[in-house]
């Protein structure tokens, strides 16, 4: 199964992707995680991407398209994958279409997760992420058992630089301008399912599974 998770920052793409990984046994491909890993490793790519990420801007299309093209060729993607945070612009979606046409492996479904802005701001402001295993938490909505410590691996939880107020505002603006047009793009292709992203995380997972079956 090849799935795209579409939705604004804070919609729950990463949270749901991790449960879909367990359910379907396919990998999560998060361009944000790949970029942050490059940044932590201080690679030239990571240092270049940081300039955009800290401000809540999008990294140039050519950079992320290259990352995804390479990743999709890895053997664990043969059974399928969950794209989380990619594509984020129409040119990225077109580049993905071209790459997948060449590989003869079309996307099965695009799930567009809908959450109102006021809720997104609350979610992003309280998000915490494990530095070691990237598990996601929220100080109110999904707290770790011990403050600042990952339940899964004992790693340190941190607040992302782009989860500060100014960057959050800009990311929501950038989403509306550059990424929201993808909803129409995939709707026109008959690939889109809309998911209500408000409510219990397990209930949202059920909604997604139902949409994937339908
Ligand atoms: P995205 O990957 O779309 O940016 P995340 O999955 O990281 O979003 O979720 C953003 C924040 O919101 C995280 O702190 C997560 O724990 C929290 N969250 C995710 N889904 C829900 C939900 N259904 N209800 C409340 N909080 C949620
Ligand atoms: P995310 O982890 O998905 O919230 O992404 C964090 C940041 O990484 C974004 O705000 C962008 O700066 C960058 N990024 C991640 N994915 C993409 C993408 N597909 N296109 C452009 N920039 C991206």
Spacing, Cα 135 to ligand 2 middle (Å): 17
Active-site amino acid positions:
13, 88, 127, 160, 171
- Residue 86 above 90 pLDDT? yes
Return the pLDDT at 2: 98
- Residue 86 CB less than 6 A away from ligand 1: no
- pTM value is 0.97
Return the pLDDT at 212: 97
- Residue 159 above 90 pLDDT? yes
- Residue 123 CB less than 6 A away from ligand 1: yes
Kind and range of the H or E element at 28? strand 28-30
Return the pLDDT at 87: 98
| CA Rg value for the chain | 16
Q: Which residues contact 86 (CB under 8 A, 6 or more apart)?
A: 4, 29, 30, 31, 64, 68, 92, 96
Confidence category of residue 214, pLDDT binned at 50, 70, 90: confident
Asked whether 57 and 170 are in contact (CB, 8 A), the reply is: yes
HSE-CB of 198 using CA atoms within 13 angstroms: 8
Predicted confidence (pLDDT) per residue in 183-201, tens digit = 999 999 999 999 999 999 9
Tell me the C-alpha to C-alpha distance, in Å, between residue 106 and each of 4, 160, 185: 11, 33, 15
Pick the CATH number of 2-116+180-213 from 3.40.50.300, 2.30.110.10, 3.40.50.620, 3.40.50.460: 3.40.50.300
Ligand whose nearest atom lies closest to the CA of 173: 2
**Cis bond upstream, residue 49 (ω within 30):** no
Query: Nearest CA to 133 among 51, 28, 205?
Result: 28
Spacing, Cα 201 to ligand 1 middle (Å): 8
- Residue 107 above 90 pLDDT? yes
């Amino acid at each position: 199964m090849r799935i795209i998770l579409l939705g604004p920052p804070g919609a729950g793409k990463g949270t749901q992707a991790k449960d879909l990984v367990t359910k379907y046994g396919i990998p999560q491909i998060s361009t944000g995680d790949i970029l942050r890993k490059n940044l932590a490793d201080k690679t030239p790519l990571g240092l270049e991407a940081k300039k955009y990420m800290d401000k809540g801007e999008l990294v140039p299309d050519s950079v992320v398209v290259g990352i995804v093209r390479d990743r999709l060729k890895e053997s664990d993607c043969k059974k399928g994958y969950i794209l989380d945070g990619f594509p984020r612009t129409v040119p990225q979606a077109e580049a993905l279409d071209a790459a997948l046409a060449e590989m003869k492996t079309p996307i099965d479904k695009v799930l567009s997760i809908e959450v109102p802005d006021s809720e997104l701001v609350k979610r992003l402001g309280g998000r915490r992420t494990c530095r070691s295993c990237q598990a996601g938490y929220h100080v109110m909505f999904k707290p770790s058992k011990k403050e600042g410590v990952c339940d899964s691996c004992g790693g340190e939880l941190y607040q992302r630089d782009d989860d500060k107020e100014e960057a959050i505002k800009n990311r929501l603006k950038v989403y509306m301008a550059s990424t929201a047009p993808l909803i129409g793009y995939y709707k026109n292709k008959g690939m889109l399912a809309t998911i209500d992203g408000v409510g219990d995380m397990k209930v949202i997972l059920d909604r997604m599974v139902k949409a994937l079956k339908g």
